[in-house]
Amino acid sequence: MTTVSTPQGLHAAFEAAFNRQDLEALVALYEPDAVMAQPDGSLATGPDAIRQHLAGVLGANGHMAVRTRYVIESGELALLSLEWKLTAGDEAMSAVTAEVARRQPDGGWLYVLDHPFASREPDAAAASGPAAASAGS
């Protein structure tokens, strides 16, 4: 795995891995005890649960575009947010994230907390868009 040297680099690495459908590269961007909020408001904790969720989203065979909104660093932690848009065929969905990343002993950064649907109510996020059927997996 390539080390992500800045918190903002996580956004570029996620987008690239998603668009090449590389599930293991996506999971590798998270700490072993990381937590990801799912569209229905439940939490995916750890690599197996995060892998299962992301596999469902990748199943939409969509294209993701991201734009970093902000990165705030304090010591070993960073608060990040991005706007993402997932397009699959004629359908599209988008949201704004809230994320926390931590600098690792090797100097790289990994996600600790990831809320991909921070700008949406849980029910609205789960009920719309190209990955709706599989996003809550």
Q: Where are the domains of the chain?
A: 7-130
Average confidence (pLDDT) over 106-130:
79
Distance CA 102, CA 94 (A): 25
Length of the chain: 137
26-40 confidence digits (pLDDT tens): 999 999 999 999 988
pLDDT at 124: 53
Asked whether residue 115 carries a pLDDT value surpassing 80, the answer given is yes
The tokens for 59 are 């199943």
What pLDDT is recorded for position 123?
59
> What is the CATH architecture assignment of 7-130?
Roll (3.10)
Question: What pLDDT is stored for residue 39 in this prediction?
Answer: 87
Percent share of the chain, pLDDT over 70? 88
